[in-house]
Each structure stands twice: as C-alpha cells, then as structure tokens.
Amino acid sequence: MIYIICVCMVVSSAFVGKYLCKKMILRDAFFKDMLLLTEKLKGNIIFKQDVIKNVFNDFLSSISDINEKKRFSLIFDKYASGNVNEIENAKELSFLSKEEKTLLIRFFLGLGAGNSEVELGNIEGASSEIKNFSSRAEDYRKKNEGLYYKLSIAVGLVLSIIII
C-alpha cells in the first residue's frame, strides 16, 4: 500500500512540475504565434492589401490549439472594439510580463492606422522586438523546463523516501 502511495506521490509531483512549466511553455508558443501573425500581416500588406479583420481570421484558422485561439480572439476583439489597453488586465494573458504586454498594446494600437510604408515599418519594428522576446522565452523554457520536471520528481521521490 505504501508503495502505491509513493508512486502516486512521484506522479503527482511530476504533474506539479508540468503545471509550473506551463507559463513558460505558453509564453514561448504565444510569441511564436505572434511572429507568425506579423509575417501574415506583412505578406498581406505587400501583396493582397486585405483588411486586417480578414488577416486575423486567416491567422485564427491556422492555429490548432483551442486555448491559444481563444487568447488571440480576445486580443482581436479588444482591437476591433478599440479597447486594446484592456489587454493589460486580461486574465488569459497573465503569463506575460508587464513589459511584454506593453509591447502588445503598443503594436495593436498602431496597427492599421497608417499607409503601407508606415504599416510595414511598424510591423517590422514590433517584429524584431517580438523576436527578442520569443528567443528569450524559448531559451528560458529550454533551460528550465527539464529542471522543473526533474526537481519536482526529485521532491516526490524525497517525500516518498521520508514516508517509507
């Protein structure tokens, strides 16, 4: 019986580790998708000159993760209603730092307000900042994801040993 409890303890601590990693995984995926969005926006302005709403719809259809889709839908809704500043308090984006949210707000506030040249310049600028955030988020995830797992499993094992 005691061994079963120990196994459960190790497994549950592994889940705790996974939960702790969630934030960094979400951030990494979010910035990768943001980069994809900027690419789509750039491509649209250069070739198609379609309205932003259609680019957003196209982008959303290319995202498979339902929760990620919801997050971006929320941002796009705030953008369409002119309430981009509300992103700062959105629970769905709590995994982003204040600095990262400020970048997002700045990007969406300026989006669609200029001609092609201005728009491309703004997207280009935001894109390089997003790339920085993305590579930082990726590095951080790669460095710490395994560590969090290992640590949480180790905690589970230590607790099991203590129980035994």
Partner 1 sequence: MLKWLLPENIYSLVERLDIAHLEEIRLRRNCPALVMYKGKNMHLTYPSGEKVYVTTKELELVLRSATENSLYAYNSQIKQGYITAKGGIRIGIAGESVSSDNFMPTTIKNISSIHIRIPHEVVGCSKEVFKFIASDNGVKSTLIISPPGAGKTTLLRDIARNISKLDRIYNCLLVDERFELASCCDGVAMLDVGENTDIVSGGTKKYAFTNGIRALRPDIIITDELMSEDDILACKTAMRSGVKVIASVHANNHLDLFEKYDFKELMTKKIFERYIVLSSNKGVGTIEQILDENLNCIYF
* Contact footprint for partner 1 (CB under 8 A): 45, 49-53, 79-80, 82, 111-116, 118-119
Closest by CA position to 21, among listed 162, 154, 152, 163? 152
Least separation in angstroms between CB 44 and partner 1: 9
Let me know if 32 is exposed, middle or buried by CB neighbors in 10 A (0-12, 13-18, 19+).
middle
Q: Rank residues 56 and 148 by Cβ distance to partner 1 and give the closer one.
A: 56
Residue 110 Cβ vs partner 1, minimum distance, rounded to whole Å: 11
Q: Half-sphere exposure of residue 130, counting CA atoms within 13 Å on the CB side?
A: 24
Which C-beta is closer to partner 1: that of 72 or that of 133?
Answer: 72
Query: Smallest gap, in angstroms, from Cβ of residue 96 to partner 1?
Result: 23
Non-local (6+) Cβ contacts of 29 within 8 A are 65, 68
Which is nearest to 78 in space by CA: 108, 99, 39? Answer: 108
**CB of 9 or CB of 123, closer to partner 1:** 123
Which residues, 6+ apart, have CB-to-CB distance to 70 below 8 Å? 92
What is the nearest approach in angstroms of partner 1 to the Cβ of residue 159? 54
Which residue, 52 or 159, is less far from partner 1 as judged by CB?
A: 52
24 or 123: whose CB is closer to partner 1? 123
Give me the least distance between CB of 42 and partner 1, in Å please. Answer: 11
DSSP string, 42-80: HHIIIII---HHHHHHHHHHH---HHHHHHHHHHHHHHH
